[in-house]
Amino acid sequence: MVLPVDFCFTGESWIVGVVTILSFEDNACFSCTDWPLKLLVHVQSDGKNYSYTPRSDFHLSVDGLPYFIVEVQSEKAGSDRYRMLLQAACLARLGNGLNPNSPNPFIVTALYIESSGRMERYLVFSLDPPDSKVCI
Q: What CA–CA distance (Å, rounded) separates 54 from 84?
A: 9
Beta strand 58-62 pairing with 65-72 = antiparallel
Residue among 109, 119, 113, 121 at smallest CA distance from 75: 113
pLDDT in the model for residue 27: 60
pLDDT in the model for residue 4: 32
Residue among 81, 78, 76 at smallest CA distance from 56: 81
What's the pTM? 0.72
pLDDT in the model for residue 3: 33
Instruction: Give pLDDT tens digits for 65-79.
Output: 888 999 999 888 888
pLDDT in the model for residue 130: 62
Report DSSP state, residue 4: P
Instruction: Give pLDDT tens digits for 77-134.
Output: 888 999 999 899 889 888 888 888 888 888 999 999 998 999 999 999 887 766 668 8
pLDDT in the model for residue 41: 78
pLDDT in the model for residue 5: 31
pLDDT in the model for residue 30: 65
Residues 62/27, Cβ–Cβ less than 8 Å: yes
Q: What average pLDDT score do residues 48-68 get?
A: 86
Percentage of residues of the chain with pLDDT beyond 70 = 74
Residues 89/134, Cβ–Cβ less than 8 Å: yes
**Domain residue ranges of the chain, discontinuous segments joined by +:** 34-124
Sheet strands (E) in 1-136: 2-3, 19-20, 28-31, 39-43, 48-52, 58-62, 65-72, 108-113, 119-124
